[in-house]
A and B are shown apart, each in its own frame.
Chain A
Amino acid sequence: MKETKRIIYFDNSATSFPKAPGVPEAVADFLRNVGANPGRSGHSQSIAAARILFEARESLCRLFGIKDSRRLILTSGATEAINLALQGLLPQGFRVLTTPLEHNAVMRPLRYLERTKEGEIVLLPIDERGNPDFATLRREIGKGLNLIVVNHACNVTGQIVPLREISKLKGEVPLLADVAQTAGCYPVEVESDGIDLLAFTGHKSLLGPPGTGGLYIAEGIEIEPLIRGGTGSNSENEEQPDFFPDRFESGTRNSAGMAGLLAATEFIMKETVESIMSKEKKLGARLRATLSAIEGVTVYGDGAAERLDNICSITLKGVDPTEVSRILDREYRIMTRPGLQCAPAAHKYIGTFPTGTIRFSPGYFNTAEEVDLAVEAVEEIVRRFHRANG
């Protein structure tokens, strides 16, 4: 029998794989043994399903330092959470301050709202080290803003934007933090980071299933729901409930997914975010250092003061990133993500638009040996193209 090479999965920034231990079992257990619709009936299976959503919410609140779990809305992911925040909060003629490092999950709804609500999007310059231009921040806050939107970690370079420094200056302006890349592998603390709206996904570094995520809405923030419909509560009334979380959770939640996310969150808190970060930092630092040493390879984001090291975007001189990623997959069974990674704004900012980069993103379950194999593979590919072109 022909030996099949083991897969090396370095695409954890797109979605993590494998998931945390216990996640597949929790999803299967829900589907096999619980199954009912949470909050839609008083029978014991429905209550059991509602308990899973309750426990998932509570667990996520412990992880993020949120006191009132009613204010954590369970969504299908960060994109829905961001859309809920942006579409629900921004009025006609709004002014928003955001960064050039945003994902399309932020930029596309913002561009849509800019058109439909005649709003204004102001970009806050971020320097190579990740520091925002504080003079611009102060000036724009003084001119009046409805919202500040910040990508906590750029999904192209891994560069961390300091939320705490921004929140210190923001005054009454709400801060929406997109923590899609950081939740689970970098400290995110709603209270001390001064976050008013926290959008997260469950399927990246939280190590949970796809189709899970959430939005935390701080007290005092007024938001309209994205969708309206059945909630299992207030059924005699044809108007949408005005209380949390039901106001924002019309339709049946992804209960099976949330059972998995609960298992994942518990795993992360047991391992601790700090130890996960430390392991990923070591793998990422090894990857970045060894790739940087290869002639013809450019590694992006090295100037950042604070970074998710495991997000490692590179280019090979004169070679299309898609071709490199294809060779890594087909010949070496190494999974990477080529191109723009849904973040054209970030690529324009680092000068890699429109071809993009090859992104390696090792995760908690990868090993140093896998990093070394990936580096060897890149070295071979560089030599091959060098010979072909030379």
Chain B
Amino acid sequence: MGKTRKKALLLFQSVHEVLAAERHLQEVIPEIDVVPVPKELSSNCGVALEVMPERLQAAIELLQREGLQPQAVFAKLGKKYSMRESD
């Protein structure tokens, strides 16, 4: 029931990077999705990559190895998103 679970969002500076991140992660990280950025978060490109919170760290590490650095990472706590420091 992935759709109802809490998600983490990776924001990038361009749609190209979002789709490149999706390409790198899709074989390794289950249940990723390209989604519109919620209106309470500012975004440069209007879409973000959604991942399961428990896979967030693995996703970030994998992307860093590919030279893709998320601009911001948000995790949903309750009804609000909070920015997470990306390592």
Listed in ascending order, the chain A residues whose CB lies under 8 Å from chain B are 38-43, 46-47, 50-51, 53-54, 57-58, 68-70, 232-236, 241, 243-246
Contact = CB atoms under 8 A, between A and B. Distances in A.
Interface of B is mostly: mixed
A70 B15 contact: no
Contacts, number: 61
A234 B44 contact: yes
B29 interface: no
A233 B34 CA distance: 16
B37 interface: yes
Which among A42, A54, A58, A244 has the greatest number of chain B C-beta atoms within 10 A? A42
A39 B15 CA distance: 6
A232 B15 contact: yes
Given A39-B46, A70-B14, 11 more contacts: A41-B46, A42-B35, A46-B46, A54-B16, A68-B67, A70-B16, A70-B17, A70-B20, A233-B13, A234-B13, A245-B16
Interface residues of B, number: 18
A232 B17 CA distance: 13
A217 B17 CA distance: 17
A42 B19 CA distance: 13
B46 A232 contact: yes
Interface string B20-33: 10010000000000
B16 A69 contact: yes
Nearest to B46: A42
Interface of A is mostly: loop
B44 A50 contact: no
B34 A47 contact: yes
A39 B45 contact: yes
Contacts of A54: 15-16, 19-20, 23
Nearest to A53: B16
A274 B42 CA distance: 48
Contacts of A244: 14
Contacts of B46: 39-42, 46, 232-233
B47 interface: yes
B14 A42 contact: no
Contacts of A235: 44
A241 B36 contact: no
B15 to A, nearest CB: 4
